Amino acid sequence: MPLNSWTVAPDEAFVPVTTGLWYVLGFAFAGTTFVLLTIGAAWLLSHRSKGDRHKGLPYESGIDTFGYTWGRVGLSFYIYALLFVAFDIEIIFIYLWAIVFRDALFGGFLAMLIFVAILLLGLSYAWRKGVLSWK
């Protein structure tokens, strides 16, 4: 009898379709348990007293602050930091690609060229908008 997609060879082990679902449910349970245990441990180990009036004050390296300490920071600082984080993470992707460069073949090389082109396009857009100039 020829084998088709509906039959299983006698020497192959039958793996039910729901096996992958059990892995997902197991990881979800383990992740949720880890988060709840971490929050519970932090609650048990945390200070429960309200403390004195100095506990809620902002400080810099143990030195009392002076002036208004709740001032706003300009939006350009946040955009600059966001660009730094984005391009920093992309460097990790490029480094990992360089590790497997010999196995990636032409398709992997072409994908990385497209990836870097998109990065350069975003960088040129940010440069034209003046985001990279520190004011």
Answer CATH for 19-129 from 3.30.70, 1.20.58, 1.10.760, 1.10.357:
1.20.58
Q: How far is residue 132's CA from residue 135's CA, in Å, rounded to a whole number?
A: 9
Is residue 41 over pLDDT 90? yes
For residue 6, the SS3 value is: coil
With both helix axes pointing from N to C terminus, report the angle between 75-99 and 101-129 in degrees, rounded to the nearest 10. 160
pLDDT at 74: 77
Q: How confident is the model at residue 103 (pLDDT cuts 50, 70, 90)?
A: confident
17 versus 117: the higher-pLDDT residue is 117
pLDDT at 134: 74
pLDDT at 67: 73
**pTM, two decimal places:** 0.46
Q: How confident is the model at residue 129 (pLDDT cuts 50, 70, 90)?
A: confident
In the chain, where the domains are located: 19-129
Q: Of the given ranges (25-29, 67-71, 98-102), which has the lowest mean pLDDT?
A: 67-71
Q: 49 pairs with which residues across the strands?
A: none
Q: How confident is the model at residue 27 (pLDDT cuts 50, 70, 90)?
A: very high
CA atoms within 13 A on the CB side of 65: 11
Helices (H), 16-100: 19-45, 75-99
Q: How far is residue 133's CA from residue 135's CA, in Å, rounded to a whole number?
A: 6
